[in-house]
Amino acid sequence: MSRLISKTLTALLLAAAPALVLAQATPVGVWKTIDDKTNTEKAQLRITETGGVFSAKIEKLLAADAKQDGVCDKCPDDRKDKPMIGLEVMRGVKKASADNTWDGGTILDAAEGKIYKVRLQPVEGGKKLEVRGYVGMPMLGRTQTWIRVE
């Protein structure tokens, strides 16, 4: 009997493994942002999905000079003067139809007070996330690589 249970458990684990890998290849999770200009840690964000739409909020500021109680004084929209902790910096992102990318939304550069279109692409099996902010076309932008925390 124990051999049957062992085989059943093994089969279940093998069946679940692809789903676990796929889950890690999505942008959902907690990420450490790395500034592409200074190569320093900036913040920890949580990306969530609701009804097929992805968004991200700041959970923690990591920069040494960051004011943990600071507000977004440069934000140009409804986020103006809102606390940085809990600030929604990414909105409206959806899974692209054919490949392993998510796009169609916007990302806020709170330090500059600018909003860009955004494209997300998990890399290295979902351990990292390439985040491309751009104006107009993706070629006209810059990419940050975020590191998965959880």
**Given pLDDT bands bounded at 50, 70 and 90, which one contains residue 9?**
very low
Is 102 within the bounds of a domain? yes
Residue 70 reports pLDDT greater than 90: yes
Number of domains, the chain: 1
Residue 17 reports pLDDT greater than 60: no
- Separation CA 37–CA 112 (nearest Å): 14
Residue 145 pLDDT? 95
Answer left, alpha or beta for residue 126, where phi above 0 means left and psi between -120 and 50 means alpha: left
Residue 50 pLDDT? 97
- Separation CA 150–CA 139 (nearest Å): 30
Is 5 within the bounds of a domain? no
Is 73 within the bounds of a domain? yes
How deeply is 15 buried, as exposed, middle or buried, from its count of CB atoms within 10 A (0-12, 13-18, 19+)? exposed
Is 14 within the bounds of a domain? no
* Alpha carbon 53 to its chain's center: 12
Please tell me the pTM assigned to this model. 0.81
Is 131 within the bounds of a domain? yes
Is 108 within the bounds of a domain? yes
CATH code (residue 102): 2.40.128.520
CB 123 within 8 A of CB 147: no
